Amino acid sequence: MQIEDIALTMTPGLGLKGIVHLLEVFGDAAHIFAASREELIHRAELREQVADELLRKSGFAMAKRELKHCERHNIRAIASTDAEYPALLRETPDYPHVLYIQGNPEALSGRTLSVVGTRTATPYGQSETRRLVGQLAERIPNLSIISGLAFGIDVAAHRAAIEYSLPTVAVLANPLPDITPVQHTDVARELLRSGGALLSELHSQTRIKGVHYLARNRLIAGLSAGCIVVESPAGGGSLVTAQYADDYHRTVMAVPGRISDRNSIGTNHLIRTQKARLVTSASDIVSELMWDLGEDPVTFREKPATTDLTRDEAGLLGCFRTSDPLSFDELHDLTGVEAGELSALLIGLELAGAVRQLPGNRYMKL
């Protein structure tokens, strides 16, 4: 990470997607600042005002102050072009170019799972969070639990991970080294001692706004292979996190609750509308994420027993030219087959062990 990386994020007029675009054009922050005005305006299609801010290196003074702040508080700044940057997060369209981390960055290098839910968790939600994390610790030893250190389910997930010796990462909506909420400072210190990390995309000179909590939720989703919602009322931040996870094509899961409970309205709705997979055990979670199939599910998946396919099923299977999932709509466009017939063919391929349905009405070739 170079000073140019932080300076890029502090340049007036550049937002997240603008920075992502510049990185796609020039490769890294150093090359962006080395570009000419003509390249910035014509090649990168920047507005003249923003190009001039880059040429004046307007963000460098703040970046120097930020580096000193990081040194004082043992904060590590990681750029998206660094090898340590979380690979899953870099796949999202609005990833932050710089992350600020206290603790162990390697907590984000293995398998990651976010566990979120309401701030007003019930004893049922807290006990289910602890039970699921405990079961996962037995099955997936290289797992990290991601959450937001908020009251309720979030902090219950962090505490369970610490109890079962799993690293856990708290994503904060404030600059480091501050802890929000302050009541969870002891949990934050304990997760650092246990090999976890505190993470924020916000530099120390940020003016805190309520919108940062919604932005924080996208990081929780983006850092994780899957997202579990344990308890949620009809609205709330955990449902926002679940929506981000779905938008990022991550596996969304939910723990069901009693239909009469307010804190089950959101989770049961996710399940009923097929926005989330119903999970009640670690085995369910492992199966949904295909973690029972080796480090690379596509490579190590055990081939199913040979089953004869009909000509139409074989033709549909031929649409899967790579290991990338295809949505129902994409398959409909590719084949031109009527929706009802397409559904029947997909069911046949599932029964034959040739494809597997994923969240978001997508299908993956096995």
Query: Looking at residue 214, what is its pLDDT?
Result: 87
Entry pTM: 0.79
Other CB atoms closer than 10 Å to residue 242's CB: what's the count?
Answer: 28
Query: Looking at residue 344, what is its pLDDT?
Result: 82
pLDDT tens column, 148-160: 999 999 999 999 9
Q: Which residues of the chain have pLDDT under 70?
A: 293-307, 359
Fold assignment, 303-365: Arc Repressor Mutant, subunit A (1.10.10)
Region of residue 232 (left: phi > 0; alpha: psi -120 to 50; beta: else): beta
Going by C-alpha positions, the residue among 140, 143, 86 that lies closest to residue 114 is: 143
In the chain, domain spans: 3-84+92-100, 105-293, 303-365
Query: Looking at residue 337, what is its pLDDT?
Result: 85
The whole-angstrom separation of Cα 12 and Cα 121 is 40
The whole-angstrom separation of Cα 86 and Cα 263 is 32
Contacts of 238 (CB under 8 A, 6+ apart): 116, 117, 118, 153, 229, 231, 232, 266
Q: How far is CA 84 from CA 6, 117, 208, in A?
A: 16, 28, 27
Query: Looking at residue 304, what is its pLDDT?
Result: 41
Query: Looking at residue 305, what is its pLDDT?
Result: 43
Fold assignment, 105-293: Rossmann fold (3.40.50)
Query: Looking at residue 282, what is its pLDDT?
Result: 96
